[in-house]
Amino acid sequence: MKITKLIDVLMAVKKITGEILGGCDDLLLALLIFMAIEYITCTLAGIYNKKIKEITLDKIIKKSCIILLVAVGNVIDLLIFQNGNVIRTAVLSFYISSEGLGILENITVIGVSVPQKLKSILEQMKDDSSEENKK
């Protein structure tokens, strides 16, 4: 009986979160995956350089704010474009590329070389997202 209630609560949280964030699509999943990988690589870089500082709470707060900005973008889309995903997509693309570049930076700190093509694509994504935000 208790497990059923827990599952019901988790399903309700998933539904509410999905509505606020505009659904759980590939872009949102990509952002969440990139955020997790960036967090892990940042921690590994800190361990590697023996410079672990209080990155945990800082990183969690920043990543939480990114999720809130996705929600803001989704709400603006609902208000202005009714069912569009213009702002939400721009916000997600910007932060996916930003987190991706952070991953590459952290990996470089550890001493692993990264493919230039991957870096170029992420930089282009970020530039494109920044240009969209200026319009």
pLDDT of residue 24: 84
Is residue 11 over pLDDT 70? yes
Cβ proximity of 93 and 34 under 8 Å = no
- Choose between 114 and 84: higher pLDDT: 114
DSSP string, 75-134: HHHHHHSTT--HHHHHHHHHHHHHHHHHHHHHHHHHT----HHHHHHHHHHHHHHHHHHH
Task: Read off the pLDDT band of 55 (50, 70, 90).
Answer: low
Half-sphere exposure of 79 (CA within 13 A, CB side): 8
pTM (predicted TM-score): 0.82
* Residues 31-47 pLDDT 10s: 999 999 999 999 898 88
Would you state the pLDDT for residue 7?
85
What is the arithmetic mean of pLDDT over 56-76?
A: 92
The answer to whether 39 and 62 have CB atoms below 8 angstroms apart is no
| Percentage of the chain lying above the pLDDT 90 cut | 56
Domain ranges of the chain: 2-134
- Residue 98: what pLDDT? 94
Would you state the pLDDT for residue 118? 92
Q: Would you state the pLDDT for residue 91? A: 96
